[in-house]
Amino acid sequence: MELKANISSILNSSFIDGPGNRMVIFFQGCQFNCIYCHNPHTIGLCKKCGSCVDNCPTQSLKLVEKEFIHEKESCICCDKCIRDCPEDSSPFYQQYTVTQLINEVRKNADFISGVTLSGGEVLLQADFVVLFIEALRCDEELNHLTVYIDSNGGVPIKQIQRVAQLADGFLIDLKAALNISHLKITGQSIENTLQTIKFLSSIEKLYEVRTVVVKGINDSEDEKEQYLKIYSSLKPGTKIYLLKMRKHGIRDKYSYLEEATDSEMLQMTRYYASKGIKVDVL
Amino acid sequence: MADIKSSVLEIIKDGNLDYKQKRHFLASIAESSVDYPEISPEADAAMHNKIICDLFEGNAPYRPRYVLPDYEKALKRGVKYLELEPPSDLDEAINFLSILYQHVPSITGYTVSLGNIDKLLMPYIGELSEEQIYKKIKLFWRYIDRTLPDAFVHANIGPEDNVIARNILRVERELKQVVPNLTLKYDSELTSESILTDAVNTVFETAKPHIANHKMISDDFGTEYGVVSCYNSLKIGGGSHTLVRLNLKKISELHIGDIDTFLNYTLTDYCNLTLEVIEARIRFLVEETRYYDTDFLAKEGIVSLDNFSAMFGFFGLAECVNILIGRKNSNLKYGHDDEANKLGLLILEKMRQVIDAKHLPYCEGNGGKAFLHAQSGIDTDIEETAGARIPIGEEPDLYSHINAVAPLHYLFNGGVSDIFHFDETAKRNPKAITDIIKVSFRKGMRMFTFNLADSEFIRITGYLVRRSDLKDFRIEGSRYGTTQFGANTMDNDSVDERSQKRIMSVENTPVTY
Ligand code: SF4
Ligand code: SF4
């Protein structure tokens, strides 16, 4: 059977996911479970348990022979289906073959510098990613497009290496600098991500490193010092961004998390600037 | 006469107008007191019913609407009338232009063309350092803003990258002035990627320059053209005698019958009436006023009648298409559906055909034909969308938008504008915008204008105003001739409340007295 990818959504135009105007393809499924995840319904894969169908207040969802039928007319966009999913999944993600996804790219090809593969964690589907990039490179109409990978870097380094040969660049989410906060935020150790960053930087494919700042969790003095060490080790020209954790869209059980203020964000960039590292707030 | 008296008094007593603005409006009233050039009763009726409109140029044309002096020639030869010798260094060249600008006529009283400034000044930079050049450009820019306070005053730079163009962009970012309006001519073979990026970064700060598709416009004009006023492209050393526009929405409402009869009768007839008004105005200006025999610019060869033509403008294409299609019981929409877009193209092609078939006198600047211009609207257009634009708030996604409008641009040899809005994220990634500009040009767009969704400047129609200026105007007068028209535009369209901001362009403003 032809390999298919689970795709949660596609954005035809984005200015913040790599150089130039880019199409962004979001892959479903993630091995991290970040407390502040803004799209928790992209973490898990659907087990077809049917609970979303039962919970829908307007009976707009049906599960017929393991396929969802979504009645858009009656759907009131209440999001109850995705909020209550026991798997942090969604009945709406789609499966694409390489050919199908390439055809989606073709629709936008005139307008874009390239494609960014994002997630979820896209490299959980590394086999598909490799086939996809190879197909893109072989397509005369599309082989001018660059491919960037937006990853949490937490997959085994072998997966990174396989894809790194083919991709033009990487955007890595560095969730924390200290292992203890990384565990707190993602539930996983930081080791793989640090290894990924080191490797990508050494082969000059690390385009950008970003961190979501969660007040009281990854913004301590110790943490900042550790960040500084990591940032200082990167090849010059690597873009470094901080993003403010927003409470909008995060799961109810994490509603206790606090947003940093604009001035706190600014202070952080000033701190790095004073050490000679340029960090911007995205 | 009683009407005139009361209007005159109203202007004189209007505390929101400064002295120059009063003088400008008083002159318009004087001009409106004479009879209109002779036109047929049908054309007269169409004007009376606001189907055809000359954009308040006045009853007795005594200067061309758009004059693009050949500043390069003037700098080389000097100007006798103004007792100006050819300059020998940058100070003298800037001083020369500063004086000449004050003597170029236009409808608003301020020249619409400042010339391709970088090209004009480059021969004079000598051994000056970049910082010295920067200082001089900055003072020059301040002078322009303070003495020519009208947002239709338009400068060009490019297509080549050079130190003057760079410093103009730098000064623009720094001063954030409304005046002058600015266009960068872009040609992928001549313009560096880095100055295009510089220009895009400048738009983030000041909502200008516009980017012009140099290759495409050069194909129509040769390389000696200027983009002036509100995205009008015209020949240097010439210009346009007049701009008369046709309201396509109104004629589609009047039309009885199918689309074929609209194209072959209603549209054709009204195009011919518009051309009649254009011709009458040209004849008055050339034969009665004898502008081209008497003005020093013409006498000294800084402009030449041979380089002039006239502009045929139109607006309300979107409504025209939707009305005609709606009569077929279809709800296809202009900007969204192929069939509607194709009808738009058909209408425009027909117009261009009728215009090209008519030989106009004194229009050798375009082989005896008028230029077709997608006119950007004025503040009294409430029901009609500017030119060939997609109505505000109905714009499809970016790609569909470009795909819908780009195929039309080849027809508008007199200029066009479609304005795009991007959100703040573009700021960190100017390459995303240069990508889109290049695609648009490849797809046949003639001009590309964009703005950030919440920039300090707001592009009301084809010009800029500061948000703060708009607020203040209600309380006190503004120095900028066009701010007041921005304020009106706001009242009519509630620009401020639009979720998806897309702003039209103003050519000029009604004299409401
Ligand atoms: S989306 Fe979630 S709730 Fe719905 S069937 Fe799949 S696993 Fe169950
Ligand atoms: S969004 Fe709400 S209405 Fe729509 S399918 Fe999900 S639960 Fe049903």
Using an 8 Å CB-CB cutoff, list chain A residues near B423: 15
Q: Is B445 at the interface with chain A, CB within 8 A? A: no
Q: Which ligand is closest to the CA of A40, given by its number?
A: 1
List phi, psi (to 5°) of B25: -70, -35
pTM comes to 0.86
pLDDT classification of B373: cutoffs 50, 70, 90: very high
pLDDT per residue as tens digits for the range B244-281: 999 999 999 999 999 999 999 999 999 999 999 999 99
What percent of chain B stands above pLDDT 90?
72
Dihedral sign, CA of A121, A127, A130, A132? negative
Closest Cα in chain A to B424: A15
**Structure-block tokens of residue B20:** 């120059």
Is A21 in Cβ contact with B436 (below 8 Å)?
A: yes
pLDDT (mean) for A83-93: 91
Q: Distance of alpha carbon B478 from its chain centroid, rounded?
A: 21
Q: Do A16 and B398 touch (CB under 8 A)?
A: no
From the list B398, B432, B443, the residue facing A20 with the nearest CB is B432
pLDDT at A258 exceeding the cut of 60: yes
Residue nearest to atom 6 of ligand 1 (CA): A46
CA proximity to B154, closest of B56, B232, B62: B232
Chain B interface test: which of A11, A14, A111, A282 (most B C-beta within 10 Å): A111
Chain segment A259-275, per-residue pLDDT in tens: 899 899 999 999 999 99
Q: What burial class does residue B5 get, using C-beta atoms within 10 Å of its C-beta: 0-12 exposed, 13-18 middle, 19+ buried?
A: exposed
User: Measured between CA atoms, how close is A106 to chain B, in angstroms?
Assistant: 13
pLDDT tens-digit readout, B461-479:
444 455 555 554 444 444 4
Nearest chain A alpha carbon to B398: A13
B186-206 residue pLDDT tens: 999 999 999 999 999 999 999
B219 touches chain A (CB under 8 A): no
Size of interface A-B (CB pairs under 8 A): 47
Q: What is the DSSP string of B331-367?
A: ---TTT-HHHHHHHHHHHHHHHHHHHHSPPTT-GGGT
Residue B77 predicted with pLDDT over 80: yes
Q: Could you count the other beta carbons within 10 Å of the beta carbon of residue A45?
A: 15
What are the backbone angles phi and psi of residue B225, rounded to the nearest 5°? -130, 165
* Closest alpha carbon to B279 in B441, B68, B61, B506: B61
pLDDT digits (tens, 9 = 90+) for B404-460: 999 999 999 999 988 888 877 788 899 999 999 999 999 999 999 998 876 555 444
| Adjacency order of strands within the sheet including A169-173 | A94-97, A4-14, A22-27, A114-119, A146-151, A169-173, A206-213, A239-244, A280-281
Dihedral sign of CA atoms A135, A138, A142, A143 in order: positive
B300: confidence class by pLDDT, cuts 50, 70, 90: very high
DSSP one-letter code for B79: B
Q: Where is pLDDT greater, at B229 or A229?
A: A229
| Number of residues written out for chain B | 513
Return the pLDDT at B394.
85
Ligand 1 mean position, distance from CA A51 (Å): 6
The confidence score (pLDDT) of residue B466 equals 54
Instruction: Please give, rounded to a whole number of angstroms, the shortest distance from the CA of A209 to a CA of chain B.
Output: 15
Task: Report whether pLDDT(B294) > 60.
Answer: yes
B22-to-B7, B69, B102, B473 alpha-carbon distances in Å: 11, 27, 18, 16
Which are the contacts of B211, defined by CB distance < 8 A and separation ≥ 6?
B183, B184, B186, B196, B199, B437, B447, B448, B449
Instruction: Among B435, B437, B445, pick the best mutation site for testing chain A contact (most A Cβ within 10 A).
Output: B435
Pairwise CA distance, residues B236 & B200, whole Å: 26
Average pLDDT, chain B: 88
In this complex, is the C-beta atom of B442 within 8 Å of any C-beta atom belonging to chain A?
Answer: yes
Please judge whether A111 and B435 are an interchain contact, meaning their C-beta atoms are less than 8 angstroms apart: yes
Q: Is B432 on the interface with A (CB under 8 A)?
A: yes
Q: Higher model confidence: residue B286 or residue B505?
A: B286
- Asked whether the beta carbons of residue A16 and residue B402 sit closer than 8 angstroms, the reply is no
Q: What is the pLDDT of residues B315-325, one digit of tens each?
A: 999 999 999 99
Amino acid at B129: S
Percent of chain B with pLDDT over 70: 88
Q: Which amino acid is residue B427, in one-letter code?
A: K
Residue of B375, B272, B366, B295 whose CA lies nearest to B54: B375
| Closest residue on chain A to B443 (Cα) | A110
Q: How far is the CA of A50 from the centre of ligand 1 (A)?
A: 6
Give the ligand 2 atom nearest the CA of A55.
7
User: Which range, A82-86, A91-95, B326-330, is most confident?
Assistant: A91-95
Mean pLDDT of B228-242: 93
Give residue A5 CA to ligand 2 midpoint distance, Å. Answer: 24
Asked whether the beta carbons of B383 and B510 are under 8 A apart, the reply is no
Chain A contact present for B422, CB below 8 A: yes
**B431·A19 Cβ contact <8 A:** yes
pLDDT score recorded for residue B492? 37
Answer yes or no: is the C-beta of A188 below 6 A from any ligand 1 atom.
no
Residue B273: predicted pLDDT = 98
Chain A residue with minimum CA distance to B399: A111
Whole-angstrom CA distances from B71 to B79, B100, B133, B366 are 10, 9, 20, 21
Q: What is the DSSP string of chain A?
A: ---EEEEEEEEEEESSSSSSSEEEEEES--S---TT-S-GGGTS------HHHHH-TT--EEEETTEEEE-TTT-----HHHHT-TTS--TT-EEEEHHHHHHHHHHHGGG-SEEEEEES-GGGGHHHHHHHHHHHHH-TTTTT-EEEEEE-S-S-HHHHHHHHTT-SEEEEE---SSHHHHHHHHSS-SHHHHHHHHHHHHTT-EEEEEEEE-TTTS-SHHHHHHHHHHHHTSPTT-EEEEEE---TT--GGGTT--PPPHHHHHHHHHHHHHTT---EE-
Instruction: Tell whether the torsion through CA atoms of A69, A74, A75 and A80 is positive or negative.
Output: negative
The atom of ligand 1 lying closest to the CA of A90 is 1
Chain A: residue nearest B422 by CA?
A15
Whether B445 and B374 have beta carbons less than 8 Å apart is answered as: no
* ipTM greater than cut 0.85: no
Q: Tokens 């084809």 belong to which residue?
A: B462
Residue B502: the pLDDT is: 19
Helix (H, G, I), strand (E, B) or coil at B510: coil
Lookup: tokens for B204: 């983030």
pLDDT-derived band of residue B60, with 50, 70 and 90 as boundaries?
A: very high
Q: How far A191 CA sits from the closest chain B CA (Å)?
A: 30
Sort out which chain A residues have CB atoms less than 8 A from B407's CB and list them.
none
More confident residue, B1 or A34: A34
Which residues are within 8 A (CB) of A51 and not within 5 positions of it... i.e. 6 or more apart? A84, A85, A86
Longest CA–CA span in chain B (Å) reads 70
Find the mean pLDDT for residues A231-255: 89
Chain B neighbors of A111, CB-CB under 8 A: 398-399, 402, 435-436, 439
pLDDT score, position A220? 94
Determine if ligand 1 sits within 6 Å of the CB of residue A55: no
Contact assignment for B439 to A108 by CB distance below 8 Å: no
Q: What pLDDT, on a 0 to 100 scale, did the predictor assign at position B456? A: 55
Name the residue among B465, B265, B463, B467 with its Cα closest to residue B350.
Answer: B265
- Counting from 1 in the atom list of ligand 2, the atom nearest the Cα of A76 is 3
H or E, element range at B244: strand B238-247
Cross-strand pairs, B240: B66, B309
pLDDT tens-digit series, residues A172-219: 999 999 999 999 999 999 999 999 999 999 999 999 999 999 999 999
Question: Residue B509 — very low, low, confident or very high, per pLDDT cuts 50/70/90?
Answer: very low
Helix axes A157-164, A191-202, angle to 10 degrees: 30
Task: State in Å: Cα A64 to ligand 1 middle.
Answer: 13
CB contact at 8 A, B36 and B59: yes
Give the full edge-to-edge strand order of the sheet including B154-157: B113-116, B154-157, B181-186, B210-213, B447-452, B419-422
Greater pLDDT, A119 or B456: A119
> Tokens 């689970």 map to which residue?
A6
pLDDT for B2 equals 77
Q: Are A104 and A11 in contact (CB under 8 A)?
A: no
Q: Using a 6 Å CB cutoff, which residues line ligand 2?
A: A 56, 58, 60-61, 75-81
| Ligand 2, atom 8: closest residue by C-alpha | A56
Alpha carbon of A110 to those of A129, B437, B438, B440: distances in Å?
22, 12, 10, 9
Pick the more confident residue, A66 or B215: B215
CA of A75 to the centre of ligand 2 (A): 5
Residues of chain A in Cβ contact (below 8 Å) with chain B: 12-16, 19-22, 108, 110-113, 280, 282
The Cα B238–Cα B371 span in angstroms is 13
Which numbered atom of ligand 1 lies nearest the CA of A63? 5
In a mutational test of the pocket of ligand 1, which residue from A87, A92, A95 has the highest number of ligand atoms less than 8 Å from its CB? Answer: A87
Asked whether the beta carbons of residue B432 and residue A282 sit closer than 8 angstroms, the reply is: no
Minimum-distance ligand to the CA of A85?
A: 1
Report the distance separating Cα B411 and Cα B129, nearest Å: 44
* CA A60 to ligand 1 centroid distance, Å: 14
- The C-alpha torsion from B130 through B131 and B137 to B138, rounded to 10°, is 150
The pLDDT, as a whole number, for residue B467 is 57
